[in-house]
Structure formats: C-alpha cells, structure tokens
Amino acid sequence: MRDNNRVTSATRQPEPPAAATRPRLIATDLDGTLLRDDQTVSPRTVAALAAAEQAGIEVFFVTGRPARWMDVVSAHVHGHGLAICGNGAAVVDLHGGPGAHRFVKVRELARDNALDTVRLLRDAAPGTVFAIEQTFGFHQEPDYPKLHLEVPDGLLPAEEVLASGGRAADEPVLKILAFHPDLDPDGFLTLARLAIGDRATVTRSSPSALLEISGPDVSKASTLALCCAERGISHDQVVAFGDMPNDVEMLTWAGRSYAMGNAHPDAIAAASGRTVANNDDGVAVVIERLLREPAP
C-alpha cells in the first residue's frame, strides 16, 4: 500500500476509482496537457474549466513555465486564478491579467545550492550550459541556445549570476535550466540526479536534453500539497493531469490522475488513469465525466 501522505516519484498500476465522488480540486499541467500543440486552449476545454469552477471545483494550473509565460491562460482563470509555476517554485495569482501577476508563495533555490549544482553538473557532463530563472529576471550563458522566445536580461556565466553580491542578487532564484547539446534527454536526467544528489530537485519537461532544477523537495506535487493543506483539501479529493517526467510526483500524489495520450512513459506509469492526447482535448474529456459524478 502506498503512503499518500508522502510526495513520491514511485509509479503505480492504473486502477479505476471505486465509488468515485466529484473532486474538490483539479490540477493540470499546461504544455502537452491542457494546451494544444499550437499553444491554444480549445473552446471545449475553456467550457470544461468554466463548468468545473461553476460546480465549486477549484482549478490550479501547475506548470514548469515561469510566471511571465502565463498569459496563455490568463483569460481562462475564472473564479480562482492561482497557478503553480516553475515546477513548484512559485504560486502566482493570475487575476491581475497579463503582465500583472502577483507572487503568493516563493520556494527559492538557495544560491549555495545553486552554485554547487552548476559545479557538479559541469564536472559530470562537460559541455552543459545554463540559464537562471528568477522571480522577474532571466539570465543565460553566452552559449546557451535560443530555446525561449525572449531576450535574456544578461549573458553571463551562471557562476557570476549566482555569486553572492552578483547580478540581481536581491532576487530569489527559482530554477536553473541546464542544456546539453549531445546527451540523450533521459540519460542526462539520470546523470544529473546522481551528480547533484539532495542539493536540488532535477526534472525535465522538454523533448530535448534540457533539465529544470529547483530547490530540494520543491516539485509540482510538494507545492500543490501545501496549497491543498491550506484549503483543507486531501490528496484523494484532487484530480491531476500531466504528460512529462516533471509531472510524475503530482500524478502519483493525487487521488486520481490521468496521463495524456501523448505522455512520456514515466507519466503513464505514475498515473492512475489515461486520457486522450492534448490535441484531442483529453483534459476536457475527463472533466466532463467528473461533472457527472455525485458531489462530495
């Protein structure tokens, strides 16, 4: 029997819920899950989210995206409008609209841990290049590829950005991005986890060898668990959706969870159920079914 009080990355076999009742909270990833591949939210999904909130079910967007990339769903926040960003590094209130998001909770990566992480990963995987996500800033190394559609605030070695008294030293570090041009993505993830140990949490959501590194014990699941505890919501009253390794802990923690039809094998193994692909409105398909269940 799994311990549902712990946030774990252990996988489980899918099983149908018995005597299911309507959940109190829906937690959904964005890219590859709620969003279609063209980065839009379909009319069917917009309607399903609105119906869920009208039925009294809170909706949380839970994503690896930074807060400044949340404009894609800002028009669909309805009554609640809270998002967990940066793989759990921040909780953001989206009600202010594009460009006016407010940080509710920040779970930063300590600079000493960040510097250790960069040093250990450079040693373990020579050729790794880094970018640094902060609450409002984004810095990258000169050789970091153009993976993001934005101009960085600075082109500096990661060690200079992270140094005590360095650039933007007064802003919390939310996430390190580590890219390797040659390594297999899953192989790079395994190597990095072994090299970094408990200094930080390492995951990935990109099809390329791009890792996302947060503070120790910071994940989508651990921050979602904190937010649910504040609301008196237990894990078995949560339904979660995801598609990539950075969703595994959340899919495992939630009472019911669904991997998308396009999901990574690790997400499929972690979820208790499966839905159709993001381009086929897999989240909406499940929400519509949930709303036919009896209220708790």
User: Of all helices (H) and strands (E), which one includes residue 5?
Assistant: none
* Per-residue CA distances from 200 to 189, 262, 267, 289 (Å): 13, 28, 21, 38
CA end-to-end span of the chain = 24
Query: Distance between CA atoms of 108 and 164, rounded to whole angstroms?
Result: 15
Q: Which two tokens stand for residue 69?
A: 């990339």
Q: Are the C-beta atoms of 215 and 117 separated by less than 8 Å?
A: no
Q: What is the CATH number of domain 25-107+219-290?
A: 3.40.50.1000
Tell me the three state secondary structure of residue 119. Answer: helix
pLDDT confidence of residue 69: 79
Where does CATH 3.30.1240.10 sit in the chain? Answer: 111-214
Q: Which fold has domain 111-214?
A: 3.30.1240
* 68-79 core/surface letters (b: 16 or more CB in 10 A; e: else): bbbebbbebbee
pLDDT confidence of residue 9: 40
- How does DSSP assign 122-151, residue by residue? HHHSTT-EEEEEESS-EEE-TTS---SSS-
Q: Which two tokens stand for residue 256?
A: 């019911």
Judge residue 64's burial from the number of C-beta atoms within 10 Å of its C-beta, 0-12 exposed, 13-18 middle, 19 or more buried: buried
Composition of the chain by helix, strand, coil, percent to 5: 35, 20, 45
Where does CATH 3.40.50.1000 sit in the chain? Answer: 25-107+219-290
Q: Backbone phi, then psi, for 254, in 5-degree steps?
A: -65, 145
pLDDT confidence of residue 94: 81
pLDDT confidence of residue 13: 42
Q: Are the C-beta atoms of 267 and 248 separated by less than 8 Å?
A: yes
- pLDDT tens track for 228-271: 999 999 999 999 999 999 999 999 999 999 999 999 999 999 99
| pTM for this predicted structure | 0.88
Query: Distance between CA atoms of 193 and 190, rounded to whole angstroms?
Result: 5
pLDDT confidence of residue 16: 44
Question: In which residue ranges of the chain is pLDDT below 50?
Answer: 1-19
